A and B are shown apart, each in its own frame.
Chain A
Amino acid sequence: MNTTSPEAAAGPVGMSRTQDAGPMGMPSSQTTAGPMRTPRPQDAGPMETPRPHDGDGTGQPPRTVVVTGVGLALPGVRKPADLLGPLPADGGFDPATGLTGREMRHKDRASRLALRATEPALRDAGLLDDDARFLGAADTTAVVVSSNLGSLDTVCEFTDTIARSGVGALSPLGLPQTSSNVVAGWVAIRHALRGPNLTVCNGATSGLDALYWARNLIAAGRAETAVVVGVEPSGDAVTKLLGEQTTDAAVAVVLESAAGAAARGARPRATFGGYARTRDLPSALTAAGTAEAAPVGLWLTGPDLGQPPAGVPAGARRVDLEAGLGPLSGTLGVLQCAAAVAHLDGGGEGSVLATTGGPGHDATAALLLRRSDA
């Protein structure tokens, strides 16, 4: 595979991995929709290690992935734009009334929350008809769930029941909940989604990591569309473990290949850029390609710790979602994606940088999202 198109050699540097930035740099998506390009070492910039093979040898470039839908089930937040502040005084999702109903029966709290976020996300993407039937290609639609604590209260409650009253007091209908992937299973069943079904439980970076793996499933051709859900239910065990009361939180976003979105006339709301999970913030920003992307206009991050790192303009807006909403754990990265879409939908400037993890965690993750050209 020695062919390359002129644009590959002369075009924008679409990949940002460097040798010292860690292994997980992800190529930024191509900006052009021109002829198929072979991913070649020189696409990756001068620091790239030459590779013995190009991709899968088919000459297919990594596919561009876009966001086409957002859904929230989040108390105190009515719409994605609220995430950028100020939060409304009241309103938003009400778990007391929102988690009931026939289809909610016998399901754990995390699954119920996730279903309440998934449906509006699919609707926002134009993938549900008036009867809430899925309109997309079910066999190539993936479900990717991010949750760290979603099963904690279930597990603790079941052991309490066994200690108190024995195994006979357990409900046989609780069996699915003993497996940490229960949420992804129910989301798939509810909408008959038969593509890859993945549950990412990866600590503080889990939400951004789930977006990355959804992107990879699409880039590798295993899926055309992916519903990415971040969910963390509130509960006694979660509160005890975190040392503070948490808020029920679920958010869903719909990702799909840019070509697939274009073919069905769906409006791309954001385009995936680089991603990295590395040892610290500077290396994550380098590996994600912050320097090569459009200047960052919005940085979704944690508490303000002073000067922004290299690659983030001093004037970039900075939003800490957990400041207003409390600990979000596995929901955070997916909610950052929803906030990025709100920023871009609202005509906000620049690209959006989301970062999670950092000191006190096993890694830092960074994801760039930019305005879709179409």
Chain B
Amino acid sequence: MTWDITGMGAVANIGADPQEIFDALCSGRESRTPLKAFDPDKYRAAYAYEIDDRAEEGRDEPLRATRWLATAVRQALADAGLDEDLSEIPVLVGTTMREQRSSELWWRDGAQVGLADLHFGTHLKNTFGPSASYTFANACSATLYALGMATDMIELGVADTVVVAGTDSATESAFGTLDRVQNDTPDALRPFDTSHKGMLMGEGAVAVVVQRAGTGRGPVHARIRGVAMNCDAHHATAPDPDGITLAVRDAHRRAGVRPEDIDLVMLHGSGTPRNDATESGVLGAVFADSGPGPLMTAIKSMTGHTLGGSGLLSLVMATLAMRQGVVPPVLGLTDPIPQAAGLRLVQGRPAAAELNIAQIDAFGFGGINAVAIVEAAR
């Protein structure tokens, strides 16, 4: 069974819709900006990948993640040729932080935020009318988990159309703890480069419309072949090669593909030395006997780590890459870490290639892994 992706929407620091984001990725220009969300004097990290949309310069405001979520969903519905009435369509939202930034502003600054505002379902209901909306706080694999569960809903006969979305804004508690933990403070997110020092947060939202094969109104952007999800049950924050290997192999099995069938890998690539070494080590082994192996890229080098939505944003970018036959480079990658030496990481400028099948990785705190396989629709 495959599932059609018929609508896509996204907002990020580098673009206000999927194509803008993709074009910016291909342009390969530095995109980090000086930290604005929080008092920069309090942190060692001086940069982030924020969406700069606050009404008042230097003053953070609540409910930005909720606002972006609605924007991304609206784009995806329009793209799929659907109206904005979701009263009969389930919506699955993946997120790491939910509206915790609003909680912080409520607690510290007395922002007018109530219990209902902290729940994405409230705003979704008021805007699009879904009763069957669900928020999954599944760290940085949240949207690919949600995507997998959307395919389950269709397979189980519960729905024909499901909207899958993700959103996150940076929180001070997480940014601060990360700043405390990353002793070697990164001034940019540089996945798989020997200069990598850790992750920096990005912000954004993403949405796709997933439909039972052949039931959509408009063109099919890509077909989902399979989504795997598991848990390392190993460490609260560090990745585990065994768990990730199982997730990758299970995704291939579900999709009915062999490693040599994969043309493109959208890496998790969070820029932490731990992730980059683990992920490239696992992929080196998985693709060891696959000839030259797939092209690989890591969009967090330009979007920052957009947390819960990052997996689905990678998937949307993979869809555009397959359609346009071009893979954006990993920004700032000039000297790959030894574990990545055998991988075909795109460096310097976009790579042109005929692409049919893409693998998307997303790994989160709690050792939760999700891997999706999508196929180009032509």
Residues of A within 8 A of B (CB): 22-27, 39, 44, 51-57, 62, 138-139, 143, 148, 151-152, 154-156, 158-160, 162-163, 166-168, 170-172, 174-176, 178-182, 184-186, 188-189, 191-203, 209, 213, 216-217, 219-220, 222, 237, 240-242, 277-279, 360-364
Contact = CB atoms under 8 A, between A and B. Distances in A.
A62 B156 contact: yes
B365 to A, nearest CB: 4
Given A155-B173, A216-B153, A363 B236 contact: no
B15 interface: no
Contacts of B137: 179-181, 199-201
Contact of A213 (B114, B139, B149, B172): B149
A176 B231 contact: no
Given A26-B158, A179-B366, A192 B115 contact: no
A176 B155 CA distance: 34
B185 to A, nearest CB: 11
A277 B145 CA distance: 20
State which size class the interface on B falls in: 35 or more
A22 B138 CA distance: 26
B171 A362 contact: no
A148 B119 contact: yes
A257 B233 CA distance: 22
Given A51-B160, A158-B176, A363 B230 contact: no
A258 B121 CA distance: 32
Q: Top 5 nearest A-B pairs by Cβ distance?
A: A185-B366, A180-B137, A197-B231, A158-B173, A176-B236
Contacts of A184: 231, 366, 368
A338 B89 CA distance: 30
B319 to A, nearest CB: 23
A39 B157 CA distance: 8
B195 interface: no
Contact of A167 (B180, B233, B246): B180
Contact of A23 (B139, B159, B180): B159
A185 B138 CA distance: 10
22 contacts: A24-B158, A24-B159, A57-B1, A62-B157, A155-B171, A159-B176, A179-B137, A180-B137, A181-B138, A182-B236, A184-B366, A188-B231, A189-B234, A189-B236, A196-B231, A200-B134, A202-B121, A237-B103, A240-B107, A277-B131, A277-B132, A362-B122
Given A39-B157, A199-B138, A172 B231 contact: no
A220 B172 contact: no
A219 B156 CA distance: 8
B232 A194 contact: yes
B335 interface: no
A162 B42 contact: yes
A166 B174 contact: no
A25 B364 CA distance: 31
B43 A363 contact: no
B181 interface: yes
B70 interface: no
Contact of A166 (B42, B364, B367): B42
Contacts of A363: 121, 125, 131-133
Main secondary structure of the interface of A (DSSP, over half): mixed
Contact of A216 (B135, B152, B172): B152
A309 B87 CA distance: 22
Contacts of B215: 52
Q: Is the interface of B mostly helix, strand, loop or mixed?
A: mixed
Contacts of B232: 194
Nearest to B180: A170
Contacts of B233: 138, 188-189, 191-194
B177 A172 contact: yes
Which one of B160, B231, B364 has the highest number of Cβ atoms from chain A below 10 Å of its Cβ?
A: B231
Given A55-B157, A158-B173, A194-B231, A237 B134 contact: no
A220 B107 CA distance: 41
B97 interface: yes
Contact of B171 (A22, A178, A194): A178
Contacts of B300: none
A152 B103 contact: yes
Contacts of B160: 51
B173 A185 contact: no
B87 A52 contact: no
Given A158-B176, A200-B137, A277-B131, 6 more contacts: A23-B159, A179-B97, A192-B233, A198-B136, A362-B124, A364-B131
Contact of B366 (A170, A197, A240): A197
A181 B145 CA distance: 13
A176 B153 CA distance: 30
Contact of B108 (A163, A194, A240): A163
B115 A242 contact: yes
Contacts of A44: 157
Contacts of B246: 139, 194
A273 to B, nearest CB: 15
B179 interface: yes
Contacts of A222: 148, 152, 229
Given A143-B231, A185-B367, A220-B155, A198 B103 contact: no
Contacts of A151: 100
Nearest to A279: B131
A154 B173 contact: yes
